[in-house]
Amino acid sequence: MGKKLLLPTDFSKNSWDALVYSIKLYADQECDFYILNAYAKDAYGLNSISRLDPDDAFNKLSENRSKRGLGDIMKRLTFENDNRNHRFHVLSRSELFIDAVKDVVDDMQIDIIVMGAKGAANRHKGRYGKNALAVIESVRNCPVLIVPKNVSLNLPEEIVLAMNFHTDFRISEVEYLAEIAKMTGASIQVLSLSDDAPLTPQQENNKIHLQKYFKDVDHSFNVLHNVKMAAALSCFVEISHSNMISYIDRKPSFWEQLGFGKPNLGELGYFKDVPVLALHG
């Protein structure tokens, strides 16, 4: 059975780069690519009344722009992609972005979301876009691959998995990482940090499980001492030329849901030319 990929787009260059990267990554796999554009605006209080008007100018203009933009993508794909393993579908939804993504993931039983690191409106350097962060935090039932605009189209040769073994993980998503490594021939470097304390029983158990799931993949375990994870990952990317980073995005705690503390992706730093694969614990 083929894979089902969801590609949200705002018609920016970065969202196109994410589509091209996913096509390259899954070149030898049978896939259905669902390209989604959602265009409803946030509305609160009295302003929400305008969303009920089918003749609302914003909705009409946005609908036309959405369908025209998706049509242009399909035309471009027709000329630039002749892979018989791939099928493309376009979805134009008058919904809030996160609601649309959640609905498509559930309705189409999506295996993985691939999206650009930043949208057209994001001008902040050294920071992931709010939509990318929102998808990772809100969509918990499939992995999310964040693709930066400076990404190389070469297949990954080494994937770094940032993990401290404290976090329990879903077997399905770790196996998905192993599957990506197998189909690209990449090795997996498991990177953890240590304060010189021995592993707890939970950590030991998680490490044993991880070894089991990676038994058919070239992998190794690396421990760094007295350094922050963002700095450790940057060193791996620079020195080992790692070209994909993965981590387990645990479910936000009560305090994090209230806005205290950084999202996990923010703690890892910003990588302007390396894709980041968020798995969910």
Same domain, 53 and 87: yes
Check whether residue 180 and residue 62 sit in a common domain: no
132 lies in the same domain as 12: yes
In this predicted structure, what is the pLDDT of residue 42?
A: 57
Q: Are 70 and 43 in contact (CB under 8 A)?
A: no
Instruction: Examine residue 130 and state whether it is found in any structural domain, yes or no.
Output: yes
pTM, full prediction: 0.89
Share the mean pLDDT of the chain. 86
- Confirm whether 69 is domain-assigned: yes
What pLDDT, in 10s, does the model give residues 68-113? 999 999 999 999 988 999 999 999 999 999 999 999 999 999 999 9
Is residue 262 predicted with pLDDT exceeding 70? Answer: no
Q: Are residues 78 and 172 in the same domain?
A: no
Is residue 72 in a domain?
Answer: yes
Angle at 143 between CA 98 and CA 122, to 5 degrees: 50
In this prediction, residues 140-168 reach a mean pLDDT of: 89
CB under 8 Å to 96, separation ≥6 — which residues? 38, 40, 42
Residues 132 and 180 in one domain: no
Angstrom distances, CA of residue 141 to CA of 12, 27, 70, 106, 113: 26, 24, 26, 9, 10
Residues 280 and 109: their CA atoms lie apart, in Å, by 16
Question: Domain span at residue 210?
Answer: 158-280
Same domain for 135 and 11:
yes
Identify whether the C-beta of residue 105 lies closer than 8 Å to the C-beta of residue 142: yes
Give tens-digit pLDDT for 183-218.
999 999 999 887 777 888 888 888 898 998 899 999
**Domain shared by 123 and 178, yes or no:** no
- Tally of domains within the chain: 2
CATH of the domain at 104: 3.40.50.620
